[in-house]
């Protein structure tokens, strides 16, 4: 009987156009937009050209400094005031302000002061500033060595220590893209599961109370526990399907419509295991979120009230992203894999970095399912009390 009720609930949910739109279509479009946004964040802008304002009197000198730097396009202006005005009005990305800059005089002892005028709140401007500053540093190093040589000093005396930074190696050709995907995929899966399960969870109990059809269902010979479990499994299944659908769309879009993020999806022999882990975690998380939403729906009298109470759940699913963004894969503790919501982020991040720890996977999946069972048991207690299921 419980299986029949489950099949009926699933069938009714999939026939409802509103559920299909809210559960599948909207999340798919949202996730697609996020993928393209993250791709743009890590894309290489080396082909982009920026306007840099310099004084007309120093144009030839600056052309020598930036020869071969394709990203910099020099524009000559009459005076310093025009440089500042042009930058502040957005005509130029950056302005180079000097007082009689001369490359020939660099061989002589003395210091030439250069001011870079730009909007530091702009990412493009900050990148351009670093590029321009680096170009001047290279030029400075060249002439400093000439000064030392002319004074009979070997430039090597300035170097006493050479520091080489060596990072921990992970199973990835593009670590930046992998880290970006490690934040993106867990967030997409958790949001998709939560947003996918939310509409059906609101309708399946709170909606039936509002329509006064739940009372008729409870008068049938089927026990309330079976009714509740069938509804819980329905919500969990819809949430799981929404998560898997969004994940599939994201992976397909990443493979065919991105260049940088695509490099993070080179799992070679571990692909099957990673897919299986993703599916199992989506099932566990779907049952956990489904239990939370079912309890909220029991406590709500109307669909509107249910949506108001359940909205914070969506926000909580995103919260781990901000806590884990600055933490390395080797900075995790065992407790992180049993913390609700956070565990799925930790496991997916490890899998994407090529780390396979069966203990961590077991802890994350087991704890998530355990929390879901505990919460649905609380829901069972509430569901057996008429004050929570009988509309007033």
One DSSP character per residue, 248-283 reads HHHHHHHHHH-STGGGG---GGGHHHHHHHHHHHHH
pLDDT digits (tens, 9 = 90+) for 324-344: 767 777 777 888 889 888 888
The more confidently predicted of residues 130 and 144 is 130
Mean per-residue pLDDT over the chain, rounded: 84
Output the pTM of the full model: 0.75
Q: Give the pLDDT of residue 46.
A: 60
The CATH topology of domain 50-158 is D-Maltodextrin-Binding Protein; domain 2 (3.40.190)
User: Per-residue pLDDT for 204 more than 60?
Assistant: yes
Buried b (16+ CB within 10 A) or exposed e, 366-385: ebbbebbeebbeebbeebee
Domain ranges of the chain: 2-41+171-389, 50-158
- Work out the pLDDT band at 49, boundaries 50, 70, 90: confident
Determine how many CB atoms are found less than 10 A away from the CB of residue 71.
Answer: 16
Q: Is the pLDDT of residue 177 over 80?
A: no
| pLDDT at residue 267, rounded to an integer | 62
- The pLDDT confidence band at residue 266, using thresholds 50, 70 and 90, is low
Instruction: Indicate the range of 13-22, 311-320, 362-371 predicted with least confidence.
Output: 13-22
| Whether pLDDT at 270 is above 80 | no
Closest CA to 347 of 363, 369, 325: 363
DSSP category for residue 176: H
Q: pLDDT band for position 13 (50/70/90)?
A: confident
What percent of the chain is modeled with pLDDT above 70?
Answer: 93
- Alpha-carbon span 143 to 149, nearest angstrom: 10
Q: How confident is the model at residue 349 (pLDDT cuts 50, 70, 90)?
A: confident
Neighbour count for residue 187 (Cβ, 10 Å): 20
From the centroid of its chain, how far is CA 246?
Answer: 14
pLDDT score for 249: 83
The per-residue pLDDT for range 238-254, each reduced to its tens digit, is 999 988 888 888 888 88
Residue 133: is its pLDDT beyond 80?
A: yes
Q: What is the pLDDT of residue 299?
A: 93
Average pLDDT of 17-36? 76
Paired with 186 in beta bridges are none
Please tell me the predicted confidence (pLDDT) of residue 345.
85
pLDDT beyond 70 at 102: yes
Distance CA 23, CA 368 (A): 22
Averaged pLDDT, 269-297: 88
Q: Which of 4-8, 10-14, 107-111, 312-316 has the lowest average pLDDT?
A: 107-111
Residue 287 has pLDDT above 90, yes or no: yes
Mean pLDDT in residue range 293-320 = 89
Quote the pLDDT of residue 44: 62
Cα torsion 242, 246, 252, 257 to 10°: value is: 160
Q: Spell out the residues 6+ positions from residue 192 whose beta carbon is closer than 8 angstroms to its own.
A: 27, 31, 242, 243, 245, 246, 247
**Among the listed ranges 50-64, 290-304, 309-323, which one has the minimum average pLDDT value?**
309-323
pLDDT in tens, 146-172: 777 877 777 777 777 878 877 776 655
């Amino acid at each position: 009987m419980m299986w029949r009720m489950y099949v009926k609930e699933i069938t009714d949910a999939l026939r409802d156009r509103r559920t299909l739109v809210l559960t599948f279509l909207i999340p798919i479009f949202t996730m697609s937009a996020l993928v393209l946004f993250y791709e743009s964040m890590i894309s290489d802008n080396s082909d982009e050209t920026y306007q840099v304002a310099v004084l007309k009197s120093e144009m030839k000198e600056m052309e020598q400094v930036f020869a071969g730097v394709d990203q910099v396009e020099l524009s000559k202006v009459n005076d310093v005031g025009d440089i500042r005005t042009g930058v502040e009005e957005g005509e130029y990305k950056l302005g180079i302000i000097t007082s009689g800059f001369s490359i020939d005089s660099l061989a002589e002892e003395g210091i030439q002061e250069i001011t870079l005028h730009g909007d530091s709140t702009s990412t493009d401007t900050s990148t351009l500033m670093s590029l321009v500053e680096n170009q001047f540093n290279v030029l400075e190093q060249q002439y400093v060595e000439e000064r030392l040589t002319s004074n009979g000093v070997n430039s090597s005396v300035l170097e006493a220590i050479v520091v080489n930074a060596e990072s921990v190696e992970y199973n990835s050709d593009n670590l930046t893209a992998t880290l970006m995907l490690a934040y993106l995929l867990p967030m997409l899966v958790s949001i998709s599961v939560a947003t996918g399960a939310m509409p059906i969870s609101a309708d399946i109990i709170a909606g039936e109370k509002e329509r006064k059809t739940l009372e008729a269902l409870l008068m049938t010979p089927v026990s309330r526990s079976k009714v509740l479990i069938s509804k819980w499994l329905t919500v969990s299944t819809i949430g799981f399907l929404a998560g898997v659908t969004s994940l599939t769309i994201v992976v397909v879009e990443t493979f065919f419509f991105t260049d940088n993020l695509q490099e993070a999806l080179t799992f070679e022999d571990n692909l099957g295991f990673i897919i299986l882990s993703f599916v199992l975690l989506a099932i566990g998380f779907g049952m956990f979120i489904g239990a939370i939403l079912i309890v909220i729906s029991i406590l709500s009298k109307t669909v509107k009230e249910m949506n108001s109470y359940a909205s914070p759940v969506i926000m909580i699913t995103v919260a781990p992203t901000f806590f884990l963004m600055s933490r390395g894969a080797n900075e995790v503790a065992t407790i992180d894999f049993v913390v609700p919501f956070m565990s799925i982020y930790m496991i997916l991040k490890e899998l994407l970095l090529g780390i396979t720890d069966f203990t961590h996977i077991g802890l994350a999946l087991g704890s998530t399912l355990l929390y879901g069972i505990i919460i649905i048991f609380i829901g069972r207690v509430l569901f057996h009390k008429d004050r929570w299921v009988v509309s007033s």
